[in-house]
């Protein structure tokens, strides 16, 4: 048996893998089209800033004060009054989801408003908790401002106010924090999902047996499977980055070197995970499902990208510790929005490499045993 790595064998296999990728339209689709779709959706569709909320207005009082308050609601930049009528009718609209809240101006409102005690009712759609809280607090805001303006008073100065500043993202633009998430999703797709599928296919079709019958060593096999997808992953990451920088003016305050280093560590780990899944599953269907459940969804939901990890129950926090993307997101957010901070990057990079090493070790052990 020759040396562990032979340049000739490696080159031959790399060419084979490269051609296999380039000749399959689906891998090109995933590596080049998916990143663009993701960035576009994240940039345009995931708008967490509330616009005008559709409400219904039940004006039960014909007095002047009630009419004036109703106008205040109609002119509010926070609400769009799209339905008027009695409460039962508006409740049906609320159930149907055509409106998100009902403002009731009760019968004796004008009389009580004259005595500075005008009370209104806000009925919200609790099935959408964020929206409901918004409607409740802004409805009260509209009423308070109306009452103050009517009394000819300026807003009361609070005894103690809080001036909030958001570092790195002063305008709290949600796009800025979504981009690192998009990159994580795309690299997980290519690293774990695509790799798992490709290798499982070799097993399923029996071409793996053919490869194993060649002088190619296990280590060489793993390297030739990893390198092309590593390149593909970096290419997709670059597309994500460039598109988001051009289209959405997302800041990039760190260095390209740091971004490459962080992405490489994550790809190492994701590729290891993909190889391990395929070695364990050996069927494309099973591999695809495991990759989806163990790699893709956790990278979206358990990585701290959307939901704060510390807010989850303790057992979920433990589960997130074995989600590699959890160690990627903070570094990516930092490299885009804050700049290079190797004291923050290095521990997380080490963790990702460690996870990757474990995945690769399991893959090698599993493959050897089954073939022998």
Partner 1 sequence: MNRWLAFLIRCRAMIIKEMWAVLRDPRARIILVGPPIMQLVLFASAATLEVKNVEIGVLDLDNGPAAHEVLQQLAGSPNIHALHRLASYADLARAIDRRDVLCAVVLPEGLSRDVAARKAASAGAVCDGRRSNSAQIMGGYLADMVGRAGLALRGVAPDAAPGGATVVRHMFNPNLDFLFFVLPALVATVASISSLSVSGQSIARERELGSFDQLMVAPLRLPEILIGKMTPPLIVGLVNATLYLLVITQLFGEPLRGNVFSYYLATFCFLTANIGLGMAVSALAQTQQQAFLGIFLVAVPVNLLSGFAAPVDNMPLMLRMIAEADPQKHMVVLMEGLFLKDMPLATVLANTWPLMVISAVTLTFSSLLFRSRME
- Residue pair 310/230 in contact by the 8 Å Cβ criterion: no
d(CA 271, CA 134): 43
Site residues (CB under 8 A) for partner 1, limited to 198-217: 198, 201
Helix (H, G, I), strand (E, B) or coil at 59: strand
For residue 301, the Cα-to-chain-centroid distance in whole angstroms is 7
Between 176 and 360, name the residue whose CB sits nearer to partner 1: 176
Q: Tokens 């521990």 correspond to what residue?
A: 347
- Smallest distance from the beta carbon of 282 to partner 1, in angstroms? 10
- Long-range pairs of 260-265 with CB within 8 A, sequence gap ≥ 24: 260/234, 261/345, 261/349, 262/328, 262/331, 262/332, 262/335, 262/345, 262/348, 262/349, 263/183, 263/187, 263/233, 263/234, 263/237, 264/230, 264/234, 265/349, 265/352, 265/353, 265/356
- Smallest distance from the beta carbon of 41 to partner 1, in angstroms? 5
The window from 206-214, 223-231, 232-240, 283-291 that contacts partner 1 (CB under 8 A) reads 283-291
Between 127 and 255, name the residue whose CB sits nearer to partner 1: 127
Q: Does 124 bind partner 1 (CB under 8 A)?
A: yes
- Smallest distance from the beta carbon of 353 to partner 1, in angstroms? 20
Q: Does 166 bind partner 1 (CB under 8 A)?
A: yes
The window from 167-175, 215-223, 350-358, 360-368 that contacts partner 1 (CB under 8 A) reads 167-175
- Residue pair 235/201 in contact by the 8 Å Cβ criterion: no
- Smallest distance from the beta carbon of 312 to partner 1, in angstroms? 5
Per CB under 8 A, the list member of 8, 88, 310, 369 interacting with partner 1 is: 310
The window from 9-17, 42-50, 227-235, 259-267 that contacts partner 1 (CB under 8 A) reads 42-50
The window from 255-263, 277-285, 350-358, 364-372 that contacts partner 1 (CB under 8 A) reads 277-285
Between 142 and 220, name the residue whose CB sits nearer to partner 1: 142
Q: Which two tokens stand for residue 358?
A: 């474990």
- Smallest distance from the beta carbon of 3 to partner 1, in angstroms? 33
Q: Tokens 């800033």 correspond to what residue?
A: 49
Q: Does 125 bind partner 1 (CB under 8 A)?
A: yes
Q: Does 44 bind partner 1 (CB under 8 A)?
A: yes
- Smallest distance from the beta carbon of 349 to partner 1, in angstroms? 15
103 forms bridges with which residues in the sheet?
A: 57, 122
- Smallest distance from the beta carbon of 358 to partner 1, in angstroms? 22
Per CB under 8 A, the list member of 1, 4, 45, 213 interacting with partner 1 is: 45
Tell me how far CA of residue 284 lies from CA of 279, 288, 332, in angstroms.
11, 6, 31
Per CB under 8 A, the list member of 22, 33, 365, 371 interacting with partner 1 is: 33
Q: Which two tokens stand for residue 288?
A: 């695809």
Per CB under 8 A, the list member of 14, 72, 82, 128 interacting with partner 1 is: 128
Per CB under 8 A, the list member of 169, 216, 364, 366 interacting with partner 1 is: 169
Nearest to 66 by CA among 140, 139, 148, 146: 146
Helix (H, G, I), strand (E, B) or coil at 232: helix
Q: Does 37 bind partner 1 (CB under 8 A)?
A: yes
Between 173 and 353, name the residue whose CB sits nearer to partner 1: 173
Q: Does 47 bind partner 1 (CB under 8 A)?
A: yes
- Residue pair 78/52 in contact by the 8 Å Cβ criterion: yes
Q: Does 326 bind partner 1 (CB under 8 A)?
A: no
With a CB cutoff of 8 Å and minimum separation 6, the contacts of 52 are 77, 78, 79, 80
Site residues (CB under 8 A) for partner 1, limited to 225-254: none
Between 62 and 347, name the residue whose CB sits nearer to partner 1: 347
- Residue pair 129/108 in contact by the 8 Å Cβ criterion: no
Q: Does 281 bind partner 1 (CB under 8 A)?
A: yes
Helix (H, G, I), strand (E, B) or coil at 228: helix
Site residues (CB under 8 A) for partner 1, limited to 57-116: 91, 94-97, 112-113, 116
């Amino acid at each position: 048996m020759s040396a562990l790595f032979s340049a000739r064998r490696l080159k031959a296999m790399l060419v084979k893998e490269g051609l296999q990728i380039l000749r399959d339209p689906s891998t090109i689709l995933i590596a080049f089209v998916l990143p663009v779709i993701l960035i576009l959706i994240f940039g345009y569709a995931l708008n967490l800033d509330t616009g005008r909320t559709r409400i219904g207005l039940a004006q039960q009082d014909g007095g002047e004060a009630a009419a004036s308050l109703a106008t205040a609601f109609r002119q509010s930049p926070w609400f769009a009054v799209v339905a008027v009528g009695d409460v039962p009718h508006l409740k049906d609209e609320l159930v149907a989801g055509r409106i998100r809240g009902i403002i009731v101006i009760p019968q004796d409102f004008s009389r009580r408003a004259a005595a500075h005690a005008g009370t209104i009712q806000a009925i919200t759609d609790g099935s959408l908790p964020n929206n409901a809280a918004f409607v409740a607090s802004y409805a009260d805001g509209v009423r308070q401002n109306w009452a103050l303006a009517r009394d000819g008073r300026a807003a009361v100065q609070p005894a103690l106010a809080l001036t909030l500043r958001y570092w790195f993202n002063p305008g709290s633009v949600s796009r800025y924090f979504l981009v690192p998430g998009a990159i994580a999703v795309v690299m997980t797709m290519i690293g774990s999902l695509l790799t798992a599928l490709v290798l499982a296919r070799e097993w399923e079709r029996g071409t793996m047996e053919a490869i194993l019958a060649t002088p190619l060593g296990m280590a060489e096999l793993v390297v030739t499977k990893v390198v092309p997808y590593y390149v593909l992953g970096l290419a997709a990451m670059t597309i994500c980055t460039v598109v988001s920088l051009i289209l959405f003016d997302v800041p990039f305050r760190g260095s390209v070197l740091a971004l490459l280093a962080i992405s490489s560590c994550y790809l190492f780990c994701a590729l290891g995970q993909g190889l391990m899944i395929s070695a364990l599953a050996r069927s494309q269907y099973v591999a695809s499902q495991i990759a989806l459940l163990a790699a893709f969804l956790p990278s979206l939901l358990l990585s701290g990208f959307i939901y704060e990890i510390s807010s989850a129950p303790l057992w979920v926090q433990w589960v997130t510790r074995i989600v590699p993307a959890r160690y990627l997101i903070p570094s990516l957010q930092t490299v885009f929005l804050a700049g290079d901070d190797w004291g923050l990057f290095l521990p997380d990079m080490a963790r990702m490499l460690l996870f990757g090493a474990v995945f690769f070790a399991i893959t090698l052990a599993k493959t050897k045993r089954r073939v022998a």
